Structure 1
Amino acid sequence: MKAAQFNQYGGPEVLQLVDLPDPHPGPGQVRIKVSAAGISASDTKIRRGELSFGATLPQTTGADVAGIVDEIGDGMTDRVRALAPDGVDVALDVAGNGVLPELIALAGGEAKNVITVADFAGAEAHGVHFSNGFADGNAFHALATIGELVEAGKFWLPVERTFPLADIAEAHHASETGHVRGRLVLIIS
């Protein structure tokens, strides 16, 4: 896994891209395949040593992420049950890692309440709806709905600038100038 890491506190120049072993979630945790990460004010303070949350060096940076849950740890279903003791109305599988039976149980025991975009064979085996997003129109419906919200001024997510992961030091520098009017986002390829 590629990660932005620093071995000493300092300015953006201390950030290095490193290869780390792929993490696996522990009990009650999930792993996210990150596609984008936001630069937050706490990231730069942590890098400068002004904020630690008890962590020691070396440290990685980038906790504000967007991506897809691609692995779940033991007990994650139990955590969802604790948060929603009466179950959930619907469930979406985006990882395709064999969790459809658990999702069906969480969604009232009804396969019709579960959609997968990643497990075609599991969908056939368990009677779950498989969506590639386009053939059944679900993606077009979602895009149309979001478009309506944007046009109505009810959905707004300002992004000031995007950077490739390799330019994380530049993104941190931009964050520290104090002239940012939206999110700075790292695109992870």
Structure 2
Amino acid sequence: MRAVVFDEFGGPEVLHLGEVPEPEAGPGQVRVRVQAVGVNAFDGKVRSGAMEAVFTTPLPAVPGLEVAGLVDQVGAGVTGVATGDRVAGPAGRGAAELAVLDVWAQVPVGLDAPQAAALPVVAETSRRALRLLDLKPGETLLVHGASGGVGGLATQLAVAAGVRVIGTASPVNQERVAGYGATPTTYGDGLVDRIRALTPTVDAVLDTAGSGVLPDSIELRGGTDRVLTLADPAAHALGVQFSEGSEHSAEALADLLDQVVRGAVSVPVAKVLPLAEAARAQSIVDDGHAGGKVVLVP
């Protein structure tokens, strides 16, 4: 089958289409014919080799952490799903024509494949981050990258829980962050002063951008306690918690899919590109100014 492959670490240019063996659904799994693949900043960090200090990636590798598609093979012991069903879920090698899922949820009517594929990672990551930060109503949370997929959803969920959120984003995305119910501000030089002008206290910091903001975050928080990054490998040297791994839940994903189709929360899809343009897609995400999720379609 066709898949996006990289044989060495480097820039987006190392990505290319190649032929890889078809996966098979094992016990408790389903295989889907992929209709859309979400592209995440984490994909680029793995591809570049930046995450090798945290965990190793055997080469050649296929990126793609989330997909939506049609079930075409059901593993032993699986119930409640049949071939032809539309599902979405996390995938280890999703940027391909076929992918195997351990966790999935039915895609509701009214949600297309690109939108559904944009949700599994942000659903799990944003909820895990907020749980680790243990926020209480009335506290103030600083979110770096609040207009992105994970940052944007975490912002919306925190605001819904009664947390005051200050979100950093590029100038063109300030209105989006405000629409999520947060107080927007720009990143870059002078960040500490801008945040201090908005609030006397930062109770917790969530870094979804991985763009070198941890020293400023520690200064604003007054220490490393309740400073969490999802994307900056410098965390370990600075004594900041780096949240890795995943705790995917079919029930939580189904709930988010329902919330999105009802309009209760928003995870915008900024661009949909063909699988052959994986390098361009990761370049857009690497740049950090996509303005929403980037999705590939085979």
Is the Cα–Cα contact under 8 Å of residues 74 and 83 in structure 2 kept in the other structure? no
CA-to-aligned-CA distance 1:107-163 (integer Å, 9 cap, x gap)? xxxxxxxxxxxxxxxxxxxxxxxxxxxxxxxxxx944xxxxx889742533111111
Mark the CA change 1:151 to 1:2 in structure 2 (over 3 Å): closer, same or farther: closer
SS of corresponding position for 2:291: coil
2:25 is aligned with 1:25? yes
Indicate the residue corresponding to 2:61 in structure 1.
59
Identity of aligned residues (%): 41
Is the Cα–Cα contact under 8 Å of residues 5 and 60 in structure 1 kept in the other structure? yes
Mark the CA change 1:150 to 1:46 in structure 2 (over 3 Å): closer, same or farther: closer
**Whole-angstrom CA distance in 2 between matches of 1:38 and 1:151:** 17
SS of corresponding position for 1:18: strand
Mark the CA change 1:167 to 1:94 in structure 2 (over 3 Å): closer, same or farther: same
Counterpart mapping for 1:37-116 below 5 A: 37-51=37-51, 53-77=55-79, 91=80, 93-95=82-84
SS of corresponding position for 1:17: strand
**How far has the Cα of 1:92 moved from its partner?**
5.1
**How far has the Cα of 1:7 moved from its partner?**
0.5
TM-score (norm 1): 0.59
Q: 2:273 aligns with which of 159, 163, 172?
A: 163
**Whole-angstrom CA distance in 2 between matches of 1:67 and 1:184:** 16
**Structure 2 gaps, min length 5:** 86-107, 111-258
**How far has the Cα of 1:43 moved from its partner?**
0.5
CA-to-aligned-CA distance 1:36-74 (integer Å, 9 cap, x gap)? 001111100110112254431110011211112211222
Is the Cα–Cα contact under 8 Å of residues 260 and 267 in structure 2 kept in the other structure? no
Is the Cα–Cα contact under 8 Å of residues 71 and 95 in structure 1 kept in the other structure? no
Partner AA of 1:184 in structure 2:
V
Mark the CA change 1:24 to 1:179 in structure 2 (over 3 Å): closer, same or farther: same
CA RMSD of aligned residues (A): 2.7
Indicate the residue corresponding to 1:172 in structure 2.
282
**Whole-angstrom CA distance in 1 between matches of 2:68 and 2:261:** 24
**How far has the Cα of 1:30 moved from its partner?**
1.7
Partner AA of 1:95 in structure 2:
G
Mark the CA change 1:68 to 1:151 in structure 2 (over 3 Å): closer, same or farther: closer
**Whole-angstrom CA distance in 2 between matches of 1:152 and 1:56:** 40
**Whole-angstrom CA distance in 1 between matches of 2:262 and 2:23:** 41
**Whole-angstrom CA distance in 2 between matches of 1:151 and 1:9:** 38
**Whole-angstrom CA distance in 2 between matches of 1:17 and 1:69:** 23
Higher alpha-carbon deviation: 168-177 or 151-160: 151-160
TM-score (norm 2): 0.39
Partner AA of 2:17 in structure 1:
L
Is the Cα–Cα contact under 8 Å of residues 10 and 49 in structure 2 kept in the other structure? yes
Greater Rg over alpha carbons, structure:
1
Indicate the residue corresponding to 1:9 in structure 2.
9
Indicate the residue corresponding to 2:246 in structure 1.
none
